[in-house]
Every structure is written in structure tokens, then in C-alpha cells.
């Protein structure tokens, strides 16, 4: 790459990798691989009675929210609808939403 750092790098949610990439490539945006996140839905959310509907609606909120405001509104609506406001895993994902939600990355590409 002619000694040029990439614009962004997709990675999993490993904290050590995040730190290492920030040190070695400070001008490169680190992004979480959305596939890894959505793949984990089953492990983290399967115990919910309405898991199938929840998963479908989460995917729509993630992929079909074309603006940040749309995503925020759709996400919050789902958290309330399914009573997930206190789900630790979803709270962590939401806190780091700019790392993986497409609506937060439009300005990069």
C-alpha cells in the first residue's frame, strides 16, 4: 500500500486489537465486523420468547436505518418493545454503535 495506512480496518470486538491498532495506525478508523455481531445474536438473545421476531427487527433497524436519527429511534423502540433496556450485551453494543452500525459510517466511504 506504499506505506499508506488504510482508511479503516474491520475487526472483531477484541479490546487488545483495538488498542494495538490505535497505536500502530492512529489515523485508521477501527470498525467492528457487523457479521460477527449479528452472528452472536443467537448466543446472546435466543432465550427470549420472541427471539425470531426480535432478530428480524434488529437486523432491519441496523441495516435499514439510513440516518443516525433513524437508527437511534428504531433501536430505542425495539429495546422498549421487547423490554431489553437492561440487557448488558445490547447496552455495550449500543454504547459502541459508531464502531459497527452502517448509519454511523456513511461519511467514511
**What local confidence, expressed as pLDDT, does residue 7 receive?**
80
Q: What digits encode the pLDDT tens for the residues 63-96? A: 999 999 999 999 999 999 999 999 999 999 999 9
Domain boundaries, the chain: 8-104
Q: Quote the distance between the C-alpha of residue 8 and its chain's center.
A: 15
pTM: 0.82
Contact 10, 17 (CB under 8 A): no
Based on the number of CB atoms within 10 Å of its own CB, is 62 exposed (0-12), middle (13-18) or buried (19 or more)? buried
86 compared with 22, residue with greater pLDDT: 86
> What's the mean pLDDT in 10-35?
84
Q: In DSSP terms, which residues pair with 30 in a beta bridge?
A: 9
Q: Are 40 and 52 in contact (CB under 8 A)?
A: no
Amino acid at each position: 500500500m506504499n506505506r499508506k495506512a488504510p482508511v479503516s480496518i474491520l475487526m472483531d470486538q477484541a479490546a487488545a486489537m483495538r488498542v494495538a491498532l490505535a497505536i500502530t495506525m492512529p489515523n485508521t478508523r477501527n470498525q467492528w465486523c457487523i457479521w460477527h455481531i449479528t452472528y452472536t445474536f443467537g448466543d446472546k438473545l435466543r432465550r427470549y420468547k420472541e427471539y425470531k421476531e426480535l432478530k428480524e427487527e434488529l437486523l432491519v433497524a441496523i441495516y435499514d436505518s439510513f440516518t443516525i436519527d433513524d437508527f437511534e429511534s428504531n433501536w430505542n423502540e425495539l429495546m422498549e418493545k421487547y423490554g431489553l433496556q437492561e440487557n448488558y450485551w445490547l447496552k455495550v453494543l449500543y454504547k459502541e454503535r459508531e464502531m459497527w452500525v452502517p448509519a454511523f459510517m456513511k461519511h467514511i466511504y
